[in-house]
Amino acid sequence: MERYHYFAASCRHSGQSLSELMQDERESDGALATILDVLKRIHTIFFDLGVGTALSSRDVRPVIKRMRQEVLQGCKLVFSRVFPSDCRPQHQIMWKMAEQLGAVCCSEVDPSVTHVVAVHAGTEKARWAVKHKKFLLHPRWIEACNYRWHRQPEEDFPVPGLKEDKGKEKVAEIAHL
């Protein structure tokens, strides 16, 4: 869960707190609402699966892991210039995060790739995604999926550099597939 800054004392380095702004998060989709939804789902699964098993012998960690792996299940990702070129992508936090969320990550494009994650649309892999009608999105999509514990709408995370009108057409076209 992302750090929740309601009181000023907890918000020294990151701007104003929610109390200073005289507001709170949105009831339906703020940080607390998100984590409450996640905890309720974990609770339901944990206690439904444990019927007939002594509570002291159960472990919630496999439930959490399974729930996280369902978020991006069925997604095959390729990253394009998201990581420094002098390091192994498999060791990068974003790659590991995507795998923990159930995605399959790879280094090269092929017809089974569903998403290309890039910071700019001018890369070869980004152009391949557009040409082959695959999702082309910003790495913030993975972070949002991780934060919300749900797959987020791809069209909300466009990659800079796409021509505005073509990008919107492509996103709308891909969304209807």
Q: Closest by alpha carbon to 175, among 148, 156, 149, 147?
A: 156
Within this chain, do residues 60 and 18 fall inside the same structural domain, yes or no? yes
**Alpha helices, DSSP H, located in the chain:** 31-49, 61-69, 93-100, 124-131, 140-148, 164-175
Whether residue 73 contacts residue 102, with contact meaning beta carbons closer than 8 Å, is answered with yes
Q: Model confidence over 139-175: pLDDT tens digits?
A: 999 999 999 899 999 999 999 887 654 444 444 444 4
Looking at the domain assignment, is residue 58 inside a domain? yes
Categorize the per-residue pLDDT at 27 as very low, low, confident or very high, splitting at 50, 70 and 90: confident
The answer to the question of residue 120 being in a domain is yes
pLDDT band at 50 (very low <50, low <70, confident <90, very high): low
Q: What is the CATH number of the domain that holds 152?
A: 3.40.50.10190
Written as one letter, the residue type at 62 is P
The residue with greater pLDDT, 29 or 127, is 127
- pTM comes to 0.78
Q: Is residue 175 part of a domain?
A: no
Q: Quick one: 81 and 131 in the same domain?
A: yes
- Does residue 173 lie in a domain region? no
Inside any domain, residue 169: no
Assess whether 37 and 112 both reside in one domain. no
Task: State the total domains in the chain.
Answer: 2
Token pair listed for 18: 């929610």
On whether both 96 and 30 belong to a single domain, the answer is no
Domain holding 55, by residue range, is 8-66
